[in-house]
Structure formats: C-alpha cells, structure tokens
Chain A
Amino acid sequence: MNQAAPAPRENQGDPVVRIDARLKVTGQASYPADIATANVAYGALATSSIARGRVSALHLQDARAVPGVLDIVTYGDMDKTDTPKFGNTGASSIGPLHDKTIFHDGQIIALVVAETFEAAEEAAMLIRADYDDEQPSASFDSKGTSTEAAAGKNPMLKEDAKAGDFDAAWAAAAVKVDERYSTPTQHHNPIELFSTTAMWQGDQLTIHEPSQNVTGWKMELARQLKLDPANVRIISPYIGGAFGSKGPMTARTAIVAVAARRIGRPVRCVVSRMQAFGAQTYRAETRHRIRIGAGKDGRITAFGHEGWEVTSRPDPYVVGGTSATARMYNYGSVLTHVALVHADRNTPGYMRSPPETPYVYALENAMDEMAVALGMDPVEFRRVNEPVKEPIGGRPFSSRSLIKCYDQASEAFGWSKRDPEAGSMRDGDWLVGMGCATAIYPTAAAPCAARVRLTADGEVRVQCGSHEIGTGVRTVAGQMAAERLGVGMEKVSVEMGDSALPPAPVSGGSISTASVCSAVMMACDAVRAKLFAAAAGKDGPLAGSGNAKLDMADGKIVTETGKSAKLADVFKAMQVGAIEEYAEFAPKGSSPEALNKLYAGQPEFHGGESDKDSVKYAFGAEFVEVRINSRTREIRVPRIVGAFAAGRIMNTRTARSQLMGGMIWGIGQALHEATEIDRRAARYVNRDLQDYLVPVNADIKAVDVILVPEVDHEVNPAGVKGLGELGNVGTAAAVASAVYHATGKRIRDLPIRIEHLIV
C-alpha cells in the first residue's frame, strides 16, 4: 500500500491496478485518432469569425486550388440529412451546414478534405466568408439577450424547489446574508483533442471518435443520416479525458461521415485546440443570488437561491443546481428560481458536475459568510444545520455521512489550529488562510446490459458498451467479475467503448460504476447459478452437498463446509467449454419501457432527487489552506484535504484518483480557469492552453484524500455511489473561504485572481 493505493477500510475494495495502466503510460493505448486506417483522407474545419448573422458568400476557389484538396463539404451538402437534435445525445440543435445562419463564434462553415493534414489545414485557412453580420449579444448584461424561467424547459430541472413560507421566514430572520456570486465560462480542454474518423463499407458506417455515449450516438447518427441503426457502429476504446465534453455528439460527426461517403474513402478530422472552443460544448457562466436567514443560535430558517445561466439562442440547456442546494441543509423554508439567458453563443454542455459545481460554489461561499456573520465556526455551523430529512419533499436520505466526513477531514487537516479571526494567521511574508466546504453529488443509476463469459480454464471476458473515460470503470467492472467468479484479475479481460457491445448508458452523472457493476454482477450471478446447479446436481462434483451455500474462490466452487470442486471439473460435468450470460439491469423504480429506452440510446436515470422513497447523494468535506503573499498577493495552495463517503468503494486506488483529480480541478476553478469573451463580438479570445490557465504540477502540493466507510444497500445492488464528479464540488468555495480567512476580503466572482486582492 502507498499513497496512491490506500488500504481498504470497511466496505472498500482492493486498490487493484488499472487494467490499462501500462498501456497508457507506455503510449500503447490507441485513442480513436490513432487507429491505423488505410487510405485515409484528412479533414480540417473552417469556422465562422462572427457570432451572429448570415453567411452571404463563401469563397472556396483558393482552398480548392491547394494541391491535394479532394473535397469541400459546405452549405447544401448536408441537405439530405436531418438536422441535429438537442438533448442528452445531441449537443445542439444547430445544424451548421443546414442553414447559413450563424448562431455563435466558431460555428462550422465548411469541412475541407485533402490527401494530407497539412493541405487540409492550409486550404481551410484560405476559405473566406462574407457575412451579413448583426450585433451579437455575448452574455449576461448584453443588449439583446432574452431571459426565461428555466423550470420545465429541460428534464434537468422539472420545477423550482420550494418549501415553507420563505418570505415570512426571511423577514423574521435575526441574521441575514444576501449576496451575489458568479462563475465564469469554462472549456473542458481534455488533452486528447476532439476527432472523428468515418469509414463506409457499402452502407455500413463505422465511426472512431472519443465518446461517452456510443449507443446514444449510434442512434442519433443513424437518425441524422437516415440509416438503419444496425448499420452504424461507434468505436471509442480509450478516451483521453472527457469530463462531459464527449457526452453529447456534435454536428461534426455527421459532416465527416458525409465527407467520407462523398469521396469514397475514410476521412479523419482532428479539431484544433483553438477551434474546439467554438465547435464543442462548454460550461456556461452562471450568476447566483443567495439569501440565508438564521436565528442567533445558527439554525437556518430561510434559504433562497436564484440562479441565472447562459445558453444559446435555440436550445434550453439548463443545469439547475438548485435541486441539490435546496436539499443540502435543514433549512426551515426554501425558495429557488432558475432563469435562462439566451445569447449568441454555442449551446453549453455537461462539464464535470454540471449543476453542483457552480451552484454549490455559491451556496457554500454564502454558508461561510453566514458562519462569519454568526460568529460561529464554519464546521459547527454545518453541524447545527444537519438535516434528518431533506427539506423539499420530506424524504429521508438513503445514507448521509457528511458529518463523519467533516470530522475525519478536519482532524487530518488540523482545523483546530485555525485562529478564526480573518487576517490573523501569517508565516513570514505570507498570509495564511484556511477554509472548508461541503461536496455533494446525486447518486443515480441507469439501465445497463453486460455479457460475461467464463471458460473452463477460468478465463473471464466482460463486455459492456460503457466507456473508459479515465475513471477506471473497465478495471472496477473487471474486479466485480473477478470477485463474483472467484478468479484473479489477470484472468479477466474487459471490452468497452463499442456500440456493438451490450448497451450501457452515457458515461455521465457518475452513474457508470453503479450501473455497469450492477449489470456485471447480474451476469456473473447467472453464470454462478448455472455452475452451482451443475456442481451440486446429482452428477456434479459436489453432489450431495445438499442445500449448503456455494461460492466461488480461487478458481473453484466452494461450499460452506470447506468442500470444493475445480472449475474445470464442473465444466466437464456440464459438458460445455464456456458459459456466457447476458444481463440487463434496471434500477429500482424503472418504468416498464426502461430497457427499450436503453437500447434506443435514451436511458432513464434513477436516484438522486427523483426516487419516491428516499433521496440519494454522496457527500464530502474539503479543507484548504491558502498562502497569499502580503505584498504581491499571488495565491498558492500548499495543501488540501478531502474526506468523502460514497457507499461501497470498488477500488480505493481509482476512487482516490478520481477524487484527487476533482479537487485539483476545483483548485483550478477557484484560481485559474476562465474562458475570456470579447463582449463586443461575443467571441472567445484565450483559446489555447497558454492563456486558458489550468494548474500545473508546481501549483499542486499536498492533496490528501480520505475514503470514509459507508454502507448503503438502498442505492443499487452494487451498493455503489458515483464519485467521479464529487471531488470538484465545493472546492472553489473552500478556497474562497480560505482567501477570506487570510485577507478579510470576500471574493464572490470566480476565478479569484491577484487583481481582486491587490488594490
């Protein structure tokens, strides 16, 4: 055991090494754009340099004249296809080549296809467009935006949560906080660039593209191209960072497919880092007004959370994080409202904990302000407001270990050494600040299918159309099979990332481990049942063991009483070489059509706030120390401690890695990340990793992850709560609180930078 592989505590699995670790660190894992493809042609995008208006003319002569150019796909060429749909599988309803209207900066205006990447790029740069341009609206406060209530516009937010009489409670509250917070535009910037490789064999289309949703994309692409879904295959074995950006399919996929059909050759298009800022989804900027009213004893009596989110003109993309903030503490009364502001921007999309990251940031920053206003310790303040039931529907929590997380994290952090007075702690020229915040993420699961095959020699193959986006889901699915079938990990292979495999839901919402492991468990149990029946049957090697409970371990079937039979002998008795089982898992509360919807690429999610019997969340507590130079005010984070409880931990190594990565991202969200927009033109200006800052190694010092044991049988058969998106929730608020503690200055707009602290 070492820091990367924490010793498992109660209800935690072994820190098994990732199945693909060696492949990845030696560069042998083939990402979709790496797949060797014979006779491939290269595509390069040309994109708009305005954010609103129409293309009046497109000048292609210079581009066509570049040696090696094979084709240019542009207006008119997509007319025989259907326009994209906005939803879980489609990033936006904008069909960039179906219509000459420009909805946002960086919208695709053409795809050049050439013999070489260089020729395609050169030609794409030579495409000139004439525009009838109009004054665009960039964001909040821009002229010409339209604002509407968000609830009901999108399944993400069915209604604005409320409880009790907020107005009366607010009016009567002894202590009040009423503040506004904001979070900036952010782009995922996964290190693996976005790419599509399309190839046809007759009317069979194969797409290699990093995807978090191969089944959904297969169905959506078939719809756009008017193909039988059986003829479309999406392959995505490895993904070099996704964070939601590879969840919904963008318009590019169909365009590249059409190009490949036109030239009768495979086409590969890799989107440049800069173009990805316009051609992909992003986390839109948000604004918040938080009102907290409390009695002098620290009990909250009124909680108000109003949110504003930017989206595109045509699509009602909503995150609506009030669903979680409204259920966080034991508020007496709750009032929430979310509004959408339509601007001349691309449609935003999911980015790691889409709702919770911005909304919990606002709530937790306000909680710290309230603790200060009450003169109460911030941890104590949360303890006082710990609920027994969630305040909106009065349902219990399936499990809730928030206070345990606070206890273990604050102990490890040394919170008791903090002098509560702001600006009081110092180390030489450096101001020292300490802050904390709560992390929360809804626990959901979705229907999922899996196939498991066990052969007489103990080899196991697991197949499931889920996606290894770096979380370790291939490894934990393998672990589940190894555990249930009593074989070592070296005997297990796991295939994922292919729409030809049994369908799995989109790898989003932190549902994968729960959904995939539950399906794999079901398939394994079916294999076990067959083996047990044969082993204990009258001709079986364990005949006569009666009703004794059987299990599998060390490549054997074992009985409670210590008898055992080798797998090979059981197979021999069965006169088969392999047992293969296909399982379809549907979470509790699924509708009768749940499995059909899974195959249609539109899986239902269950859990979180949507179940009748209880609400389901994973929780955590994060503690941060910041150091701020007393003169020049640069902010550094020497250490961060997070304690998290998320039901059964399948693998302490991959769990820690996810949470650590999340907290590091949280530090980046607090201090570095922001896409800058030119407000006159509604165009992004810092479209590369030189100007779009994320933390580098030197920024990250001690990161301590504590996995708090928790048992929850209610969430799903595997007892697993998703934690892929838990770690980066709350971090930014903890940093903001630490900055306040160091300086006495409350910064409410992210990211927190030198300029906020200097004057």
Chain B
Amino acid sequence: MRPFVYERPTSVSAAVAMASHAGAGHVPPTAADTQFIAGGTNLADYMKLGVGRPDRLLDLNTLAEPALRKIRTSDDAIRFGALVRMGEAADNDDVRRRCPLLADSLKLAASGQLRNMATLGGNVLQRTRCEYFRETSWPCNKREPGSGCAAMEGVNRQHAVLGTSDSCIATYHGDFAQALIALDATVDIEGRRGKRTLAFAKLHRLPGETPNIETDLAADEIITAIEVPLRPWSGRSRYLKIRDRESYAFALASAAVALDMEGQTVRSVRIGLGGVATVPWRAVAAEDALQGKVLDEAAAQKAADAAFADARPREHNAFKIPLGKRTLVRALLETRDMKV
C-alpha cells in the first residue's frame, strides 16, 4: 500500500474545509488527493490493491454531528444519517415494518462483519468490483482514462447489460441503492459551495465516455443524509436478490419492487434493478407498462421485457437478460402476494 496521511476532522464543516482547495472541484472524488473514509470496507480494500491512491484520508467517523448516526422515522419519511451502519439500518424495526424493501436490500448484502463496519454513505458510493478494474496491470478506462477496457472482450460474466457504453461495462454492485432509486430517495450533501439536496437518481452518472466520473459529487462534498419518502407503496415492497450462492455474494440480478395495489390492479409501482446495470437502475419503462394494469404473470412478463428492451449483452453475460427478466417477474408476483 502507498503511504498516506490520516486525519480526523471533528465536524462536517471542518472536513469540507480540509478537503477544499483550488483543484477539488475539477477531479472526481475518487481521483482526488484528499479522500474521505467511512467504514473503509471499499476504499481501504482498493488502496491495498493500488486502485485507490489518496495521499490523505479524512476519517468521517470522528465527525461530531449526532444526526449523522441517527435513523429518524416520521409519518412521511425515513431519514438515515450517512454514518449509520448497514447492519443497524437492516435490523431497525421501524425500517423493516414501514418499508421491508429497504431492510432487505441491506440484510442481503455483504456479510455480518461488513455490515457492522460499512456505512450507508459509503455503501451508495461503493465502486465496481470489475476484476480488471481491481488489478492495476490491465487496461481500464475507469481506473486510467483512455487506456481501454479489458473487460469488453475479456471475462465479463458479472458485467452489466444496461447503461453500458463503448468505454465501460462495469456493473454497479450495490443493493441498497436499488431500493433508494426505486423509492425516490434524496441525498443531502454538504460541500464548499454549501448544502444541497439531490435526487438519488441523479447521484450516479452513466459511464458514457468518462467512466472515471462516477457521481455528481465534487471531491470536497460529503453526503450527510439519505431520505426516503414513505408512500402508499412503501409497505408492500420487497428486494429479491439472485446470486451464485445463498449468502455473501453480489447479485447476478436483483429487483427492488414497491407496489400500491387496488385489488389486483396496479395503482402505482416502483422498480429498481441490480446486478445488471452500470449505475443504480430505475426501470421506468417497466413501471409504465404496469401502471393501471391487472398484475398477473403476463403483465409482469411484459413489464420485464420492457425493462430489458435496450439491454446489450457481451460474451459471458447474455444470461443476465433472461435472468433479469425472470427476477423481476418473480419479484413483482411475490410483492403482489405479500400480506401487508
């Protein structure tokens, strides 16, 4: 590992000030010389591999603001501080009762040990596990812009079929983000230019020609909170994750579904898809296809076809298209049949 300076700011504003300098607005946070570390389960791992190369780490765990560590539930929203650990949120009774999708997406992620360390802020910002990204001797446009993409013609079983570009096909592997994007979450951000609230759907950027720029964040911006509105669909919601083994594995395909039903008819539906796309993925076309329809096998199948209409497979990941569709169909029908 490269040597680095480690510092422990005690407030959000202090951390922002320490991260701010003239260049901070121009490089993506993942390429900045000063970077934030929370649970460290993603960043420290990538530093060991030589993929993350900060000269200076600012530890967010010493920030004093109590709200950063709190889960607050009101009638119309759940608000998570950015330093809340995955495990704590997954096991929170209010969260599970009010919106099972949120709790499940966390519970089915990583392992108990990781969930105890990892924060929700760090979770949504976790970087891809593309094998070629993780090993520095391969060409990779995300790690080294312009160097090429080794995965395109390489081993790409775990890679994305949606939202890909000619520069990068790396999957966004997180689970929680699929719930957040489906549920119209927002993120609160604090930086040198002040505070802002961003739709979660705008946080991540498609790879396009610049897969190295992964989010809308500047290098001196900190996520302070994530807010999920509670709506009629929140209670009837579910996360289905399909993977090679029963636990401790990333999704090959997953579906985050929330349904508001009137009898057998869909009043409103929210769908996120994981394991198949380059960024957290909202399946808008599938939602549209279901709106006002009787939710049966055929309607679910139609919606799934719509969700993957633009999918682009590579050599080893073509199975993700039928798998993604079946995952969505199964999730829709299982969510419909939930007793709430």
Contact = CB atoms under 8 A, between A and B. Distances in A.
Interface of A: 49, 118, 121-122, 125, 274, 629, 631-634, 636, 671-672, 676-678, 680, 685-687, 690-691, 693, 695-699, 753-755, 758-759
B154 interface: yes
Interface string B1-41: 11100000000000000000000000000000000000000
A698 B246 contact: yes
A631 B326 contact: yes
A411 to B, nearest CB: 28
Contacts of B249: 693
B209 interface: no
Contacts of B132: 685
A685 B252 contact: no
Given A672-B244, A698-B247, A758-B323, 10 more contacts: A118-B1, A632-B326, A633-B323, A633-B326, A671-B245, A678-B150, A678-B155, A680-B153, A693-B245, A759-B322
A690 B129 contact: yes
B242 interface: yes
Contact of A632 (B154, B155, B323): B323
Interface of B: 1-3, 50, 129, 131-132, 135, 137, 150, 153-155, 157-158, 242-249, 252-253, 319, 322-323, 326-327, 329-330
B252 A754 contact: yes
A754 B132 CA distance: 23
A672 B252 contact: no
16 contacts: A631-B327, A632-B323, A634-B242, A634-B244, A672-B244, A678-B150, A680-B153, A691-B158, A693-B244, A696-B245, A696-B248, A698-B247, A699-B245, A758-B319, A759-B319, A759-B322
B4 to A, nearest CB: 11
B242 A122 contact: no
B44 to A, nearest CB: 13
Contacts of A755: 157, 319, 323
Contact of A125 (B50, B153, B326): B50
B245 A632 contact: no
A121 B50 CA distance: 11
A273 to B, nearest CB: 11
Given A678-B154, A685-B154, A691-B129, A753 B247 contact: no
A680 B131 contact: no
B246 to A, nearest CB: 4
Given A632-B323, A633-B323, A691-B129, A685 B246 contact: no
A699 B3 contact: no
A686 B135 CA distance: 10
B185 to A, nearest CB: 26
Contacts of A687: 131, 135
B244 A753 contact: yes
A685 B135 contact: yes
A49 B326 CA distance: 40
Given A122-B1, A678-B155, A680-B153, A699 B329 contact: no
Contact of B245 (A118, A122, A695, A759): A695
A677 B1 CA distance: 26
Contacts of A636: 246
B323 A685 contact: no
Contacts of A754: 242, 244, 252, 319, 323
Nearest to B329: A631
A274 B136 CA distance: 13
B252 A686 contact: no
A698 B241 CA distance: 15
Contacts of B135: 274, 685, 687
A451 B330 CA distance: 65
Contacts of B253: 632
A49 B137 contact: yes
A758 B326 contact: yes
B137 A698 contact: no
Task: Kindly list the 7 A-B residue pairs having the minimum CB-CB distance in the complex, ordered from nearest.
Answer: A755-B319, A49-B137, A698-B246, A698-B247, A685-B131, A631-B326, A631-B330
A462 to B, nearest CB: 39
Contacts of A672: 244-245
B330 A632 contact: yes
A121 B3 CA distance: 11
A487 B93 CA distance: 58
A29 B155 CA distance: 40
B79 to A, nearest CB: 32
A122 B49 CA distance: 10
B2 to A, nearest CB: 6
B138 to A, nearest CB: 8
Contacts of B244: 634, 671-672, 693, 753-754
Nearest to B247: A698
Contacts of B248: 696, 698
A243 B132 CA distance: 29
Counting chain A CB atoms within 10 Å of each CB, the highest count among B1, B132, B243, B245 belongs to B245
Nearest to B243: A634
A274 B1 CA distance: 14
Contacts of A631: 326-327, 329-330
Nearest to A685: B131
Given A122-B2, A687-B135, A698 B245 contact: yes
Contacts of A686: 131, 155
A164 to B, nearest CB: 43
A102 to B, nearest CB: 13
Nearest to A701: B246
A632 B327 contact: yes
A759 B246 CA distance: 21
Nearest to A126: B2
A66 to B, nearest CB: 9
Contacts of A759: 319, 322
Nearest to A757: B319
B1 A699 contact: no
Contacts of B329: 631
Contacts of B50: 125
Contacts of B243: 634
Contact of A697 (B150, B247, B323): B247
Given A676-B155, A678-B150, A755-B319, A122 B326 contact: no
Contacts of B157: 676, 755
Nearest to B150: A678
A751 to B, nearest CB: 9
